Structure 1
Amino acid sequence: MARAGDRLTATRVKSLLDKGQVGRHPDGNRLYLVVTGKGRGWWMLRYMAETRSKSGKPLSREMGLGAADPDSVDGYTLAEARDRADQARRLLRDGIDPLAQRKADEAAKKREAEMRRTFREAAEACIAAKAPEWGNEKHAAQWTATLTTYAYPTLGDLPVSAIAMEQVKDVLAPIWTKKAETARRVRGRIEAVLDYATVHGWREGPNPARWKGNLALALAKKSKVAKVEHHAALPWKEVGAFLTTLQGQSGTAARALEFLILTAARTGEVIGARWSEIDLAGAVWTVPADRMKAGKEHRIPLSAQSLAVLAPFAAARAEGEGDGFVFPGQFAGKPLSNMAMLKVLERMKRTDLTVHGFRSTFRDWAGEATHHPREVIEHALAHLLKDKAEAAYARGDLFQKRIALMKDWAEFCSKAPATVSELRPVVVTA
């Protein structure tokens, strides 16, 4: 221990730092100035902890008390360092390890800050974490859009730790009966965000957006407030007449719609199709997993009629270069808009139909007018089999059988509607 006359002074501290006299310089009562270089140093308190070594001896610990440069953000003067050392010694007298207490205080401050995290911040973190799992930018955009529109005005700036069922009800009540399907998705997304926050320690307690045993007791069942909405579909017996009319429409979007009908594919799969996915010689279109709803690669047999739709686009591509979109949009390097085929239906004055509904038309035709097995039809639509036992045995994609199915479909679609001439009475003259 340094004697009173040997204790540090403010002038001595400045001199040691200016000269860069590296080493430990005692101030007394186990407080040291530790100089690490010219103008660099920090305050350190040594003490004997209650924790003991394996031999039973108390452990010596060293506790930093901040930088010795009073002009730095965490810097302290000699007087301030002595005061901080006294605070640590008082804790020791009370049987508290000052280093352990410091860690506990820092953890408490961190936890307090985390509990102040807002719903918007938690939602953004949740979406960023789940985006690789989705593998589809559109899905992440839908989450952001629905939460921005419906949840953020009420919950956005609230700490996730403070959100209760009443706030969740305030979000859902205005849209629960008017926009039932949207409300269902919003509720599920709020629940997911709050679960994410709980897992990360940003909130505690049950999830106020949970449906079963919670909101189910406060809001009407979805089945009671809205009918299940199906995509408007063309009756399968009318598809031949429709396709004949569609073939009279010009433009890339019309051909894309014709191709979609013949392949029973989804809008996103068709407008995102690239030539690298198309094997014209093998008559197969392989849609990569990252563009499939089920996240699994899907092979689609191409009928002669489907190949005929692609022929003029393939010829035009032969004059260019690169792996472009099969159905290019108005701007170079961009695909068709996902609204382009819907616009074709509007021009045809068929606003009673939806593009996605043609998959239902195909499904109805296959189920009612053919003897093709159900699992072959489901594979053609890239549906996951709901029966787990059945799915376990369905290891292949039934491609050979789907060739016959899609050939039959294309031939059925290509049948011209029957025409009936007006019957006139025959006048026989004498």
Structure 2
Amino acid sequence: MADTAAKRTGAKSGKHPEKALSAVFVRTVIEQGKYNDGHGLFLKVEASGSKRWIQRIVIRGKRTEMGLGSASLVSLAEARETALENRKLARQGGDPLKAKKEAQAVLTFDEAARKVHEIHTPTWRNAKHAAQFLSTLETYTFPRIGRLRVTDVTTADVLAVLQPIWLEKPETARRVRQRIGTVMKWAVANGWRQDNPAQSIAQALPKQTKKQEHRKSLPYSEVGDFIRVMQGSKAGDFTKLALELVILTASRSGEVRLADWSEFDLEAAIWTRPAERMKSGKEHRVPLSGRAIEILREAKALGTGEGLVFPGTVVGKPLSDMTLTKLVKELGYDVHVHGFRTSFKTWAQEQTNSPRDVSEAALAHVVKDKAEAAYARSDFMGKRRKLMRQWEQFLIRENDIVVQFGFGEPSA
């Protein structure tokens, strides 16, 4: 039956045909059967009408059959090319079946990126950084190269991802390039490729103009007035208390928003932040001034006194960073929440005699010089307690806030 159909379409006959089939025949044949082409390649047509390529081949002395894919997806020319490559590899002692399985085991860039993300999960500084790794790749990279196997990603592909954002969004583009590189390094380590295409494109991209953008801050003389305006606003109580504590303790937003009641000793007036929530990766103690303690007692009265100090509207979730940012903007101030740390630092430099190391410790900054850091064992708790009292008193004086809680000085 198959031979009759082959003759009817003009296909060559013979015991060992070579290129016996035609593209037209492959496209139009509907009769069930096996149609030989050459090099062990044949087209199998099922009763249902589906067609697929199969190759009979001898691999290390054993005759076997390999599937080469659906005829609707793999053209006659592609099937012939693959069959010839398989035959050459088998004659050289190789194993085309093993090579095929290994090729199929190679992950796509999307799959590899998610695997790398999973592997690095224990090392992320916080959930936000972990999410950003994937979100930037999902936005800028996956649409272009997500479905490509990591073995097939070229420098041209990486260039196509980066060029549209390289000058328009330089910081984002640099992070995307770095994250693509991280995925590719993992692919190299797995033996799937020999090079990292993200490292080979520096000369192909234009030079970026680096702009140092500092977070906008208020002059320290206006911070007290800001607190007065904020306290008189209709914002939520937890939001106002959290932002005031950010200012009074010169903390990062996340350090306050994620604070847990277990971290506070109100009797000793000390807030101990765990290492996993600190940018430095080290535990950090914060001296609490009178108003800071009063804020915490107000927060405790509003909540349960357990778990998150400043819960958000969703049960079990903290206030979002955008909640604090939105409050600042709605009050008419074009500044960043993080900028209040700058206000504190500038005030400490210009209005106090406090040593630089003390104000840096108050900001939980890391000593960058390794030799200096090796000897910097003190957290200056006593001096920082005095400095934070001065900061609070300055804000009260500027704001005419009446603070009813006393200014005790618990021991360090």
Using the size of structure 1 for normalisation, the TM-score is 0.68
Number of the residue aligned with 2:103: 112
Structure 2 partner of 1:372? 354
> Is contact 1:301–1:402 with CA below 8 Å preserved after alignment?
yes
Other-structure match for 1:342 = 325
Alignment of 1:223-372 (within 5 A): 224=209, 226-250=210-234, 251-317=237-303, 320=304, 323-350=306-333, 352-372=334-354
CA distance, structure 2, for counterparts of residue 399 and residue 182 of structure 1: 38
Instruction: Flag the 1:160–1:84 CA change in 2: closer, same or farther, 3 A.
Output: closer
Within-5 A mapping of 1:401-412: 401-412=383-394
Between 1:288-297 and 1:138-147, the stretch displaced more is 288-297
What pairs up with 1:52-63 in 2 under 5 angstroms? none
**1:325 deviation in Å?**
1.4
Shift in CA distance, 107/136, structure 1 to aligned 2, threshold 3 Å: farther
Matches within 5 A, 1:130-279: 130-205=120-195, 207-210=196-199, 214-222=200-208, 224=209, 226-250=210-234, 251-279=237-265
The one-character-per-residue Cα deviations of 1:340-399 (angstroms, maximum 9, x if unpaired) are: 11121122111x111111111112222232222222222211121111111111123222
Q: 1:208 is matched by which residue type in structure 2?
A: P
Distance 1:411 1:195, change over 3 A: same
Relative distance call for 1:105 and 1:376 in structure 2 (3 A) is farther
Residues 226-250 of structure 1 deviation map (CA, whole Å, 9 limit, x = unaligned): 4222211111222222222222234
Question: Shift of the alpha carbon at 1:105?
Answer: 6.9
- CA distance in 2 between counterparts of 1:230 and 1:337 reads 22
Identical counterparts, % of pairs:
47
Distance 1:161 1:87 in 2: 30
Unaligned runs of 5+ in 1: 1-82, 89-100, 419-430
CA distance in 1, matches of 2:356, 2:60: 80
Q: 2:300 & 2:307 partners in 1: Cα distance?
A: 11
CA contact (8 A) 2:162 2:177 kept: yes
Amino acid at match of 2:270: V
Conservation of the 8 A alpha-carbon contact between 1:118 and 1:160 = yes
> What code does the residue aligned with 1:123 have?
A
Alpha-carbon contact 2:227-2:399 (below 8 Å) kept:
no
Post-superposition offset of 1:108:
4.0
Aligned pair count reads: 313
Q: Which TM-score applies when normalising by structure 2? A: 0.70
Please name the residue that 1:17 is paired with: none
Rg (Cα) greater in structure: 1
2:13 paired residue number: none
Judging changes above 3 Å, is the alpha-carbon distance between structure 1 residues 179 and 413 closer, same or farther for their aligned structure 2 residues?
A: same
Q: Which amino acid aligns with 2:188?
A: T
Deviates more, 1:172-181 or 1:396-405: 396-405
Confirm or deny: 8 A CA contact 1:243 1:414 kept in the other structure.
no
Structure 1 pair 106/412, CA: closer, same or farther in 2 (3 Å)?
farther
In the alignment, what sits opposite 1:33? Answer: none
Are the structure 2 counterparts of residues 111 and 243 from structure 1 closer, same or farther at C-alpha, using a change threshold of 3 Å? same
AA at the equivalent of 1:336: L
Q: Which amino acid aligns with 2:198?
A: A
Which segments of 5 or more consecutive residues in structure 2 lack a partner in the other structure? Answer: 1-57, 64-92, 401-412
Q: Structure 1 residues 122, 86: closer, same or farther in 2, change over 3 A?
A: closer
After superposition, the CA RMSD in angstroms is: 2.5
**Cα shift at 1:284:** 1.0
Please give the alpha-carbon distance, in whole angstroms, between the structure 2 residues aligned to 1:304 and 1:232.
28
Tell me, yes or no, if the aligned pair for 1:260 and 1:270 is still in contact at 8 Å.
yes
CA distance in 1, matches of 2:59, 2:203: 56
Partner of 1:397 in structure 2?
A: 379
Question: Is the Cα contact below 8 Å between 1:175 and 1:183 reproduced in 2?
Answer: yes
